[in-house]
Amino acid sequence: MTSQEIVNKYFELYKKQGHKLIPNMSLVPEGDSTLLFVNSGMFPLVPYLSGEKHPLGTRLMDVQRALRFDDIEEAGKTIRHTTCFHMIGNWSLGDYFKKEQLSWIYSFFIEELGLDPQRIYPSVFAGDEFAPKDIESIKIIQEIFAKYGVKAEEGQRIFAHDRKENWWQRGDAVGELGGPDSEVFYYLGDGEPPLGKDFADYQDEFLEIGNSVFMQYRRTPDLGWEELPQKNVDFGGGLERIALVVQKKKDIFETDNFWPLIQKLESLSGKEYRADAQTTQAMRIVADHIRTATLIAMDGVIPSNKDHGYVLRRFIRRMVRFGKKLGIEKNVAVDLVPTVGSMLEWLYPDLSSKNEEIQKIFIEEERRFIHTLEQSEKAVAESVQPLKIYASDSVKVATSVIANQYTLGAAPTSDPLVEDNASAATANVAFYLYQSRGTVPDMVVDKTREIGVHIDQKKFEQYYNLLFKQHQELSRKGAEQKFKGGLADHSEEVVRFHTATHLLHQALRMTLGTHVQQYGSNITGERLRFDFAHTSALTEKEISDVEQIVNSTISQKLPVDFVMLPKTEAEKSGALHFFKEKYPDTVKVYFVGKSLESAFSKEFCGGPHVKNLSEMNPTFKIYKQEAVGKGVRRIYAKFA
C-alpha cells in the first residue's frame, strides 16, 4: 500500500464521519513570530481549538507538512529520524470525544490498513495531582481490542505513563489548553509480540504511529487545571512512520517516501545503500535533506544567513558534504530535485513545474559552498599550525591556551579533556572553523595529522561533540527567546502589526505596481518584516509614499471585518491570495473598509486583526530594507 493510498483511506474513513478537509499549509507560518517553521499538523487549528468558530464546522481533517530542524545532526543516524515529515490529522472542536475517536482510529489502523492488532500497544495518562488517571480511555481501548479477539490488560498491552509521556499542553501561560493523550505504538521486532514490555523503555523495538490528544483542560491562575466547556480532540499520525509499518519495512528510508531517492543516489554514486555504515548514513542524510530543502524552497524560501534562509542553506550545504562522501563531486542536490517532484506529485501537483526554479537556487548555493570549502582549506592550514606543539612529547600546554584562541564559548576543562590535549585543541579549532566558515571537521583532523600531530579520533569526537552540545543549548535558548512558545502569538501588538501587513501590501502595490506579491512575513511585538516580489531597492520617495499611504489610511479609522465566501467567489472579489497555497472550498476574506466592494485592501487570511484602524497608531515607519534573493525584497517597519 502506497503512502497516497494510506492518506486516501484515512480521508475516506473520516469523511464518512462528517469531517471536512482543510488545506496543507506552507511550511512558513504566515504572520507568526513564535515559530520559524510549521512543526506539527495541528498548527493551522490553534485559534479554533481555543473557541473560534471554524468556517468548515466542528469536524476537520488534513495532511500537513511539518519541519523540525533542531536535531538536524541526528537525521540519518537512525531508521526513523527525519527532519521533514507529514502528519495526517483529525479534529473535533467541541463535538465528539474519546469513545468515537479511539474507535475510529483503531478501525483505521486495523481494518483499513490491515495492521496486526497483536502488534499494537496503546498508552494512556497515569494521572497526577492536577488530573485523574484516564480510566475511561483504558476501558474504551479494552472494548476495541476485544472486538478483534485480543485481551488488552493494563501493564501487559496498555501502559499508563506520567505527564512527561502522556500529557499535551499548548504552553504554561494562564489560559493555555492541555489534556491527556493516548498514543499508539507498533512492535517492530521479530517473532511473537511480547506482553508486559513497556515500550517507553524499548524505543528501538516499538514505533509510535499516532497520538490522540483529549484537550479537556485549561491552565488556571494558580497554575492548576480546570475542565474546559469545549472539549476537543486532536489526532496526529506520522505518515512516513505509518508507511513504514504498513509496507512492512524496518527502515523509514526504504519506504516509498524515500526509496526513489536512495535508488537515484545508488545510480549517481555507483554504491549500494547497505554497502557499509558510512554509505548508508550518507545516503539517508542526502535523501532526507533534499526532500526537506525542496519543500522549503517550494514555499518560497531562498538561502540566506538568517532565519528560514539559514536553515535552507544548512540543508543544502550538508547535502554537498555528504554527497562528496558518496563520491558525488557536484550537483548532488540538483540531480535529485526532479525525483522529489515526481515522488510527491500526488500530494503537491505543482511541485514538478517548479523544478527548474528550485534547481537554479540549489546550483547557486552549491557553487557558493564549494568556494567556501576552497577558502576553508587555506584557513585550516593556517589554523592548525599552532597545534604543531603537540607533535613533541616534551611540550605540555593546557588545552585552553589554544582552545581560547578559537572557540566561541568556554573551552572544556574537565579532567578527561586534559588527558589528550592534542585532540581537545584540534576539536576547538575544528569547532571554531565550523561555526565561522562552515568548515567540515574532518578537514581539520586530516590537516592536523599531516603536520605530524597524533589525533585520537574517538577522543576528538568526544571533545567536539561536547562543544557542539554546549553551543546547541545556547542556540536553543536563543531560539526560545526569539520564537517564544512555538504557537501563534495573538498579543495586541502582534495583532496590530498583522493588520499593518495588509495595509503595507496594498500600499506597495499602489506605489510600485501590481507585480508586488507577498512572499512571507514575520511579526513580533516590536516590528513587522515583510518579503515581496520586486527587483530593485525602494527609493526614499517610494518609501515616503508607502508610509504616507499606510498612515493616511490608519487616520481614516476604517473598520476591519471579514466575510466567509466560496473560494471562486472570493477570487472574483479581487481579494489577494497566494496561489502556492491550497484553500478549502470556503475561505475567510479580511477587508479594511466599510464594505468588501469599497475596501482599501482585501486578502484571504485567517486573522487575527484589529476591529478598527483606530486601535493603531498613524506613525508607521519603514526603517530598513534589504534584498533576500533575486527579485525578492524585504522591509522592516514599526510604529514610531
Classify residue 478 by burial, with Cβ atoms within 10 Å: 0-12, 13-18, 19+. Answer: exposed
Query: What distance in Å separates the CA atoms of residue 132 and residue 142, rounded to the nearest whole number?
Result: 19
3-state SS, residue 20: strand
pLDDT of residue 543: 96
Residue with cell 495586541: 492
DSSP codes of every residue in 109-146: IIIIS---GGGEEEEEE---SSS---HHHHHHHHHHHH
Give pLDDT, residue 502: 94
End-to-end alpha-carbon separation of the chain, Å?
58
Alpha carbon distance 364, 374 (integer Å): 16
CB 510 within 8 A of CB 556: no
Q: Are the CB atoms for 35 and 43 separated by under 8 Å?
A: yes
Mean pLDDT of 224-250: 94
Residue 385 to residues 141, 380, 390, Cα–Cα distance (Å)? 65, 9, 10
Radius of gyration of the chain, Cα coordinates, nearest whole angstrom? 27
For residue 418, name the pLDDT band (cuts at 50, 70, 90): very low
Query: In this predicted structure, what is the pLDDT of residue 34?
Result: 58
* pLDDT of 483 over the 70 cut: no
Give the range among 65-74, 77-86, 373-382 with minimum mean pLDDT: 373-382
399/413 Cα distance (integer angstroms): 8
392 pLDDT tier (thresholds 50, 70, 90) = low
Secondary structure element (H or E) that encloses residue 122, with its range? strand 120-125
Range with lowest mean pLDDT among 34-43, 132-141, 157-166, 534-543: 34-43
CA distance 125 to 135: 9
Residue 394's pLDDT is what?
37
389-419: burial string, b at 16+ Cβ within 10 Å, e else:
bbeeeeeeeebbebbeebbeeebbeeeebee
Q: Is 55 left (phi over 0), alpha (psi -120 to 50) or beta?
A: alpha
pLDDT of residue 443: 76
- pLDDT tens-digit readout, 355-377: 999 999 999 999 888 887 777 77
Task: Retrieve residue 148's grid coordinates.
Answer: 478483534
> Is residue 73 classed as helix, strand or coil in its secondary structure?
helix
What's domain 3-253's architecture?
A: 2-Layer Sandwich (3.30)
Please give the helix or strand (H or E) that residue 570 lies within, else none: helix 567-572
What is the Cα–Cα distance from 446 to 441, expressed in whole angstroms?
A: 9
Residue 393, all three cell numbers: 612529547
Q: How confident is the model at residue 5 (pLDDT cuts 50, 70, 90)?
A: very high
Residue whose C-alpha cell is 475542565: 227
Q: Which pLDDT value is given to residue 304?
A: 84
Helices (H) and strands (E) in the chain, counts: 19, 16
Q: What percentage of the chain reaches a pLDDT higher than 90?
A: 52
For residues 77 and 247, is the Cβ–Cβ distance under 8 A? no
Short-list 47, 176, 217, 224, CA closest to 485: 176
Say how many CA atoms lie within 13 Å of 510 toward its Cβ.
Answer: 17
Q: What is the mean pLDDT of the chain?
A: 86
Q: Which residues pair with 84 in a beta bridge?
A: 67
What one-character-per-residue DSSP string does 509-522 give? HHHH-TT--EEEEE
Contact 438, 432 (CB under 8 A): no
| CATH number corresponding to 492-639 | 3.30.980.10
Between strands 20-21 and 59-67, the pairing is parallel
pLDDT tens digits, one per residue of 256-287: 999 999 999 999 999 999 999 999 999 999 99
User: Which grid cell is 16?
Assistant: 464518512
What is the mean predicted confidence (pLDDT) over 537-546? 95
Cα separation, 571 vs 238, in Å, equals: 33
Residue 316 has pLDDT above 60, yes or no: yes
Mean pLDDT, residues 33-41 taken together: 75
| Inter-axis angle of helices 332-343 and 259-269, nearest 10 | 150
Of all residues in the chain, what percent are helix, strand and coil, respectively (each to 5)?
A: 45, 20, 35
Q: Which residues contact 334 (CB under 8 A, 6 or more apart)?
A: 359, 362, 363, 366
Phi, psi dihedrals of residue 87, rounded to the nearest 5°: -110, 130
Judged against a pLDDT cut of 90, whether residue 239 lies above it is answered with yes
Q: Using an 8 Å Cβ cutoff, are 479 and 69 in contact?
A: no
Which of 45-59, 336-350, 613-627 shows the lowest mean pLDDT across its residues?
A: 45-59
Helices (H), 390-420: 399-406, 415-418
- Listed residue (215, 224, 195, 50) closest to 130, CA to CA: 224
Cell of 213: 490528544
